[in-house]
Chains A and B, each alone.
Chain A
């Protein structure tokens, strides 16, 4: 199993450009999420999905769109990039174990995004 994969690893954008960060998982996990991490700010939830066709907003959703057409893929779209979106973006997936919470999340390697 490849686990959670993210592409690209690095990206530089100019202000106003749009792009899609790709995330895929091969563990058949129903739950997927996107986080951004800025220095000293921890991991902040952008959007999440509890299954194909279902998405919801996290803590910092403005400026980002998501869709979940398949179980495997959960792309994150930046509509019009701004310097404030310079960050490291992590995708994660999870599944309920024995009816409990999503106790363990599996993270991808991250995408380092710089917006000039």
Chain B
């Protein structure tokens, strides 16, 4: 089967850097994606890692280590609007999400 583990909540201050970790177990690996969800609305895609290493998209970066079955999402220069839930996701046909990390950004 497949499963993903991520912390349930993280708190940080404006302007800081925060890292959200994700460890996964899957029978066949097809990459790790990250999604953001504000206030129960539709989740939106942030980043994807198919190979080991770092992917950077503006203030957000995502890292993958396939040998460690581990990835993380790095958010820099945190803003209040980054307060949201963040989900990691993996799978080929059966796309499974982690339970989500609620990020609270304080002034």
Binding site for B on A (CB under 8 A): 31, 33, 35, 37, 40-45, 48, 50, 56, 58-59, 88, 90, 94, 100-110
Task: Give the Cβ gap from B30 to chain A, nearest Cβ, in Å.
Answer: 4
User: Which range holds the interface residue count of chain B?
Assistant: 20 to 34
Q: How far is the CA of A108 from the CA of B42 in the complex (A)?
A: 6
Which residues in B have their C-beta under 8 angstroms from that of A108?
A: 42
Q: Is B96 an interface residue (CB 8 A)?
A: yes
Interface flag for B93 (CB, 8 Å): yes
Please report the number of residue pairs spanning A and B whose Cβ atoms sit closer than 8 angstroms: 69
Question: Taking CB as reference atom, which chain A residue is nearest B33?
Answer: A103
Contacts A101-B50, A104-B33; A90 near B99 (Cβ below 8 A): no
- Cβ of A40 and Cβ of B99 under 8 Å apart? yes
Q: How far is the CA of A33 from the CA of B96 in the complex (A)?
A: 11
Q: Which of B35, B41, B95 contacts A45 (CB 8 A)?
A: B95
